[in-house]
Amino acid sequence: MFAALDISASALVAQRLRLTTISGNLANMMTTRNELGEPEPYQPRFVVFQVDPSVGAFGASGVRVAGIERDPVEPIYKYEPNHPDAIKTGPYAGFVAYPNINMMTEFTDALLAARAYEANLGAVEITKDMTQQTLRILA
Amino acid sequence: MFAYLFQATTIPTLEQVVRFTQARHHVLAGNLANIDTPGYQVRDLPVEEFRNYLREFIARRQSGLPPAGSEVLSPGDLAYLQHAGGAFLPGTKRLEHFLRAQTVEPSPTVLFHDWTNCSLEHQVTEMVKNHLLHNTAMAIMASQFRQLQTAIAEHL
């Protein structure tokens, strides 16, 4: 019965990481600089889920995050010539590149992740109850 | 000797049900875990085949035929039965045959844009049904163990 808990836990971890990634995207909605302080708009991240056969039993598999990928979407350009990160030359001179993050998509995704987390939590509760019922034979 | 003690009860049948429902719970938990995995195909145990197997199993027990390998409760009982004249049928299908998850044929009505066919509602209902079946079998089994205990203790 413990393998069922492992399977559900793998999904809880994966969904939480997905939610963390979404939070990161929302937090960086207006970020125009990278980790080094250079002007570079934040690219939204998304998680990639993969079936994990190393967790499981009876032919059932868990899930794991294969990686966190960057969405190579075009940034949104806003004309702000006095901004310190405004582009100096080229066709976009005077424009500031802002991250192209769709708040609607992110919130929908967050809601889905929360619901999936909840579903797996329900599975954990059922596993716990089944184990408890099995142990009742002893008592 | 316990194999014969339990023959008078439905405990061997209930044991089969419990082992199957526990295995199926693993598979359903795996489906829920992969609800957002692109391309994941729903897996399940062959419930219908298991029902037929259980029907045969009960019929065999009621007609007093010798138990099949999977009905024997412990290695000790197996050794005892073999010692007593090989009184178990080797040809019958064992429960282990049904405890292997298979991918379910993709349903034409449930298919999402990420090529999964995992419907959350369906999986959760199946899980609850499986849970109830497990607990029912467990409750009956516990009550039968209590009856046996009463019989052994010789007082109520």
Rounded Cα distance, B70 and B78, in Å:
10
Taking CB atoms and an 8 Å limit, are A11 and B27 in contact across chains? no
Q: Would you state the structure tokens that stand for residue B94, as one six-digit string? A: 């064992």
Chain A residue numbers with beta carbons less than 8 Å from the beta carbon of B25 are 1, 4, 126-127, 130
**ipTM surpassing 0.90:** no
Residue A83 forms part of a structural domain: no
What are the pLDDT digits (tens) for B91-116? 456 777 788 888 877 665 666 667 67
Average pLDDT, chain A: 92
Q: Would you state the pLDDT for residue B149?
A: 86
Category of B115 on φ-ψ map: left (φ > 0), alpha (ψ -120 to 50) or beta: left
Name the residue among A84, A76, A82, A70 with its Cα closest to residue A29.
A76
In a domain, A97, yes or no: no
A6 part of a folded domain: yes
Amino acid at A77: Y
Q: Is residue A134 part of a domain?
A: yes
What does the pLDDT average to over A31-37?
A: 91
- Please report whether residue A95 resides in a domain: no
Report chain B residues whose CB lies below 8 A from the CB of A48: 38
Q: Which residue has the higher pLDDT, B134 or B3?
A: B134
How many CA within 13 A on the CB side of residue B72? 20
Q: Do B32 and A8 touch (CB under 8 A)?
A: yes
A58 and B99 in contact by Cβ < 8 A?
A: yes
- What pLDDT, on the 0 to 100 scale, is given for residue A9? 94
Paired sense of beta strands B102-103 and B43-44, if any = antiparallel
Instruction: Flag the least confident range among B8-17, B72-81, B84-93.
Output: B84-93
DSSP string, A71-117: --PPPEEEE-TTSTT---SSTTTTEEEE----HHHHHHHHHHHHHHH
Identity of the amino acid at B127? M
Total of domains in chain A: 1
pLDDT for A10 = 94
For the stretch B116-148, pLDDT in tens is 777 788 888 899 999 999 999 999 999 988 888
What is the least distance, in Å, from the CA of A31 to any CA of chain B? Answer: 29
**Residue A8 pLDDT > 90:** yes
Whether residue A92 is contained in a domain is answered as no
Q: How many CB pairs below 8 A link A and B?
A: 115
Check whether A45 has a pLDDT greater than 80.
yes
- pLDDT, tens digit, 9 for 90 and up, residues B37-65: 888 888 889 888 888 888 888 887 777 66
Residue B72 has pLDDT above 80, yes or no: no
Supply the range of the domain harboring residue A25: 2-73+102-138
Amino acid identity of B7? Q
- Continuous segment of H or E residues that includes residue A64: strand A62-70
B19, B26, B28: which to substitute to probe chain A, counting the most A Cβ within 10 Å? B26
Quick check: is A106 in a domain? yes
Residue that wins the pLDDT comparison between A26 and B78? A26
Q: Rounded distance, CA B58 to CA B68, Å?
A: 11
Say yes or no: A126 contacts chain B, CB-CB below 8 A: yes
| Residue contact A51–B145, C-beta within 8 A | no
Residue A82, in any domain of the structure: no
At residue B154 the predicted structure's pLDDT band, cuts being 50, 70 and 90, is confident
- Tell me, yes or no, if A19 comes closer than 8 A to chain B by beta carbon: no
Rounded mean pLDDT of A2-21? 93
- pLDDT value at position A56? 85
Q: What is the pLDDT of residues A82-101, one digit of tens each?
A: 999 999 988 989 999 999 99
The widest CA-to-CA distance across chain A, in whole angstroms, is 79
Name the residue facing B134 among A14, A62, A133 (closest C-beta). A133
List the Cα angle B29/B31/B32 in 5-degree steps.
Answer: 65
Percent pLDDT > 70 in chain A is 99
First-residue to last-residue Cα distance in chain A: 19
